[in-house]
Amino acid sequence: MNKTNLTIMVEFILLGFSNLPKLEGLLFVLFLVIYMSILIGNGLIIVITKIDPSLHTPMYYFIGNFSFLEICYTSVTIPRLLTNLWSQRRNISFLACAVQLTSFLIMGATECFLLAVMAYDRYVAICRPLYYHVIMNHKTCIKLVVGSWISGIPLQIGQTYQIFSLPLCGSNKLNHIFCDIPPLLKLACGDTSVNEFSVYADVLILAMIPFLLILWSYSQIIGTILKLPSATGRSKAFSTCSSHLIVVGLFFGSAIITYMRPKSIHSAEADKVLSLFYTIVTPMFNPIIYSLRNKDIIVALKKLLPK
Ligand SMILES: *[C@@H]1O[C@H](CO)[C@@H](O)[C@H](O)[C@H]1NC(C)=O
């Protein structure tokens, strides 16, 4: 009896996809392929934006750093998910779970901020072209990137601390694919409304504000594009904007639905599927949408690759 209690104290069981035992092999292969493509795609973008002098502009500096973020962000969740699927060892220590949650939340906030920075950069380039080099100077770019990486840290550490100081109610089974807030709150005892409220506040500050900023930037951009004289220029700019907005909408939409829903109407299976969008699907499509559809990157890639 004592021994079980002690186990409950020190580790969680991440159930992952154990409800689909027949599919686990297939899911392993699928996630492995996705993870490799995230590493290769984003790695290529980092290399290209660093070595090609024609890409030494603010936009590509942000895109390169964003790719670096995607690699870190997915490396917090996918490798663990892969070992979970491969070895059927589902236990994760209390500490590892807390570290996973904190890093995931910090980088999630960075993701929101960097997407907002990239939208703002496009806004300045398209709507304020004469001031672009003044506004987006070297120092500002570095400040914006460093700020994106660090500003989520205090709130997210506080968030994790709060969640992990809740008493657990007997079960240590997390019905999820990684340590995320909703499944952890489900295991907590008693009244968690204060925690739920602090999660709302957190998401409002770290996700809603950047999201609104992005929507504002793109609405300004679209307004400017509509005044363009040439129809082809307009449609090209539109297709770029719409693909950015789809990725942004998927990422923020799935995250906001997951974290802003009250605990009472959370379904573990729906949460697993939704979480795939903000942990895996958007990091996979981001590099493609933000850069591979981009002429300059294609040209730089061709220069890099031997004929
Ligand atoms: C991105 O920015 C962070 C924070 O400034 C930095 O630590 C990291 O090395 C940068 N990565 C790349 C690939 O530029």
CA distance 64 to 104: 20
**Which two tokens mark 51?**
């070595």
CA distance 61 to 65: 6
Give the pLDDT score at 292. Answer: 66
Angle, helices 268-276 vs 231-260, to 10°: value is 150
Give 65 Cα–ligand 1 centroid separation in angstroms.
6
Summarize the confidence of residues 94-103 as an average pLDDT. Answer: 94
pLDDT per position as a tens digit, 44-67: 989 999 998 988 999 899 999 999
Closest residue CA from atom 11 of ligand 1: 65
Does 64 contact ligand 1 (Cβ within 6 A)?
yes
Q: 3-class SS at 170?
A: coil
Does 65 contact ligand 1 (Cβ within 6 A)?
yes
Percent of the chain with pLDDT over 70: 96
**Which two tokens mark 43?**
């790695």
Closest CA to 71 of 109, 111, 14: 111
Does 142 contact ligand 1 (Cβ within 6 A)?
no
Give the pLDDT score at 121. Answer: 93
CA distance 153 to 136: 25
Closest residue CA from atom 8 of ligand 1: 65
Give 250 Cα–ligand 1 centroid separation in angstroms.
25
Does 146 contact ligand 1 (Cβ within 6 A)?
yes
Question: 299-305, long-range: CB within 8 Å, 24+ apart, which pairs?
Answer: 299/54, 300/48, 300/52, 300/54, 300/55, 301/44, 301/48, 303/52, 304/47, 304/48, 304/51, 304/52
Give the pLDDT score at 191. Answer: 83
Give the pLDDT score at 291. Answer: 72
Q: Sheet harboring 173-174: ordered strands across?
A: 91-93, 11-14, 173-174
Give 82 Cα–ligand 1 centroid separation in angstroms.
26
Does 141 contact ligand 1 (Cβ within 6 A)?
no
At 8, the pLDDT band (50, 70, 90 cuts) reads very low
Give 67 Cα–ligand 1 centroid separation in angstroms.
10
**Which two tokens mark 194?**
């204060």
Overall residue count recorded for the chain in this entry = 307
Give the pLDDT score at 124. Answer: 94
Does 285 contact ligand 1 (Cβ within 6 A)?
no
Give the pLDDT score at 71. Answer: 96
Give the phi and the psi of residue 91 in degrees, each rounded to 5. -80, 145
Give the pLDDT score at 307. Answer: 57
Closest residue CA from atom 10 of ligand 1: 65
Give the pLDDT score at 10. Answer: 75
Domain boundaries, the chain: 11-304
Cα separation values, 263 from 76, 105, 191, 197, 200, Å: 24, 18, 11, 11, 11
Cα separation values, 39 from 127, 143, 282, Å: 34, 26, 14
Give 64 Cα–ligand 1 centroid separation in angstroms.
9
Give the phi and the psi of residue 272 in degrees, each rounded to 5. -60, -45
Does 46 contact ligand 1 (Cβ within 6 A)?
yes
pLDDT per position as a tens digit, 161-213: 999 988 887 788 899 999 999 899 888 887 888 888 898 998 888 999 999 99
**pLDDT of 241 above 90:** no
Higher pLDDT, residue 13 or 294: 13
**CA 66, 284, 282, 35: dihedral to nearest 10 degrees?**
-100
pLDDT per position as a tens digit, 75-98: 999 999 999 999 888 889 999 999
Closest residue CA from atom 3 of ligand 1: 146
CA distance 121 to 59: 7
CATH superfamily of 11-304: Rhodopsin 7-helix transmembrane proteins (1.20.1070.10)
At 130, the pLDDT band (50, 70, 90 cuts) reads very high
**pLDDT of 263 above 90:** no
